[in-house]
Amino acid sequence: MARDQTRIEQEERPDDAEDQGPSPQYVVDIGGAEASGRSLVLLVGTRRCYSCIQADDEQTSAVSKVRPNIKRIATHCAQTSDYLLQDTPLKEAIFRVLLGGGNRPMTAEDISQVLSEKWAMTAYPRDVSSRVIQRLLDSSGAYCITAVP
């Protein structure tokens, strides 16, 4: 039987005639990091929780571990209480939010929302507005964070 169902095309979405285009989304650039060396292995691997790091053996610090480690962080480590402590530097926090979301592309607004919820009860209110996050996202090259084209 032929599948003649017409697929709804992405292009059908009406063009946003607003002043500003859609907010850029950001990810941790795994592919780019693989090409440029193994720094992301450490960057990601060390963001796991204590028990996950303890479970490592020496051979597991390979580039191929980046994706599984991100998955592990998203499903486990990000749920631990000290994953996003309220005194975490913001760039570090942004990186952890991206990893905690499984490296799903996120906008500055998305990240801002996660952090304001996470830190809503903190005794030391911090400016985690999307404007601040956006500025940091654009200068987070050290964390291999890049805008999705």
Interface residues with Zn ion (CB under 5 A) are 49, 52, 76-77
Beta carbon of residue 77, minimum distance to Zn ion (angstroms, whole number)? 3
Beta carbon of residue 97, minimum distance to Zn ion (angstroms, whole number)? 16
Beta carbon of residue 31, minimum distance to Zn ion (angstroms, whole number)? 24
Spatial separation of the C-alpha atoms in residues 39 and 36, rounded to whole Å: 8
Task: Please identify, using beta-carbon distances, which residue of 49 and 128 lies nearer to Zn ion.
Answer: 49
Contact 65, 45 (CB under 8 A): yes
Task: Please identify, using beta-carbon distances, which residue of 52 and 132 lies nearer to Zn ion.
Answer: 52
- Sign, Cα dihedral of 8, 9, 10, 16: negative
Task: Please identify, using beta-carbon distances, which residue of 56 and 117 lies nearer to Zn ion.
Answer: 56
Short-list 60, 133, 74, CA closest to 103:
74
